[in-house]
């Protein structure tokens, strides 16, 4: 992949492009959904729709809630890389975001991470939280699911609740209305404390 050179920049304008896309598509509920690709344990690609839960504070990391019992958690444990494909149906913009994924679940010991997981739990609606009480995903339906799961609003995250923290390393942006495409690639700063993003304009 060709990057940088004279077009190198020290800012990350992909966040500005994404913020603008989110705003111009905000009237569409599905504008906060994207497709997350991972690699299955058998080596094959896997792909599913997930919900954008915002950015981690003071970083470019993307937050995704999921059920620890789903295949994707096993897949990410096995190979912690993913690619998000986020297509905005109103503005015809696509963000392909490639990066590394960290899993925060009930087995995590880092207290700051556990606090982040707790914040994500309480930031989701009670209805969303109730989903984590449902029968094991992808197992055969043994009985009609009862619809009266109960959860006290003050109860903390249940064991099946898992937070994915997606750390972007490359963003491939295309705008099909304006017919432009930008590649953003991150590298660590010389003191390793921050990411430096390089931008290149490429052919769509």
One of 8, 39, 158, 196 touching a copy of itself (CB under 8 A): 39
One of 8, 17, 46, 196 touching a copy of itself (CB under 8 A): 46
Q: Does 37 bind a copy of itself (CB under 8 A)?
A: yes
Q: Does 59 bind a copy of itself (CB under 8 A)?
A: no
Q: Does 41 bind a copy of itself (CB under 8 A)?
A: no
Asked whether 166 and 64 are in contact (CB, 8 A), the reply is yes
Would you give the end-to-end CA distance of the chain in angstroms?
Answer: 15
The whole-angstrom separation of Cα 48 and Cα 124 is 20
Q: Does 203 bind a copy of itself (CB under 8 A)?
A: yes
Q: Determine the interface stretch with a copy of itself among 12-20, 114-122, 152-160, 176-184 (rule: CB under 8 A).
A: 176-184
Consecutive H or E run containing 23? helix 13-24
Backbone torsion region of residue 72, taken as left when φ is above 0, otherwise alpha when ψ lies between -120 and 50, otherwise beta? alpha
Q: Is 17 exposed, middle or buried (0-12, 13-18, 19+ CB in 10 A)?
A: middle
One of 10, 11, 26, 45 touching a copy of itself (CB under 8 A): 45
Q: Determine the interface stretch with a copy of itself among 9-17, 110-118, 128-136, 160-168 (rule: CB under 8 A).
A: 128-136
Q: Determine the interface stretch with a copy of itself among 54-62, 88-96, 105-113, 119-127 (rule: CB under 8 A).
A: 88-96
The whole-angstrom separation of Cα 36 and Cα 127 is 23
The whole-angstrom separation of Cα 49 and Cα 141 is 22
Number of chain positions touching a copy of itself (CB under 8 A): 47
Q: Does 183 bind a copy of itself (CB under 8 A)?
A: yes
Per CB under 8 A, contacts with a copy of itself among 146-175 are none
């Amino acid at each position: 992949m060709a990057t940088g050179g004279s077009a190198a920049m020290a800012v990350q304008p992909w966040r500005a492009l994404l913020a603008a896309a989110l705003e111009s598509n905000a009237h569409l509920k599905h504008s906060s959904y994207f497709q997350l690709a991972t690699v299955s344990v058998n080596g094959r690609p896997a792909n599913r729709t997930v919900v954008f839960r915002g950015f981690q504070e003071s970083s470019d990391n993307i937050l995704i809630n999921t059920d620890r019992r789903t295949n994707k958690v096993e897949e990410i444990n096995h190979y912690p890389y993913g690619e998000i494909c986020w297509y905005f149906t109103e503005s015809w913009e696509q963000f392909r975001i490639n990066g590394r994924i960290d899993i925060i679940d009930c087995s995590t010991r880092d207290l700051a991470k556990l606090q982040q997981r707790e914040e994500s739990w309480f930031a989701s609606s009670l209805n969303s939280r109730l989903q984590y009480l449902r029968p094991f995903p992808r197992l055969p339906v043994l009985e009609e699911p009862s619809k009266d799961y109960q959860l006290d609003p003050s109860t903390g995250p249940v064991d099946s609740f898992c937070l994915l923290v997606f750390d972007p390393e490359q963003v491939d942006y295309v705008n099909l209305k304006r017919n432009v495409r930008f590649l953003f690639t991150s590298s660590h700063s010389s003191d390793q404390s921050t990411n430096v993003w390089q931008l290149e304009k490429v052919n769509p």
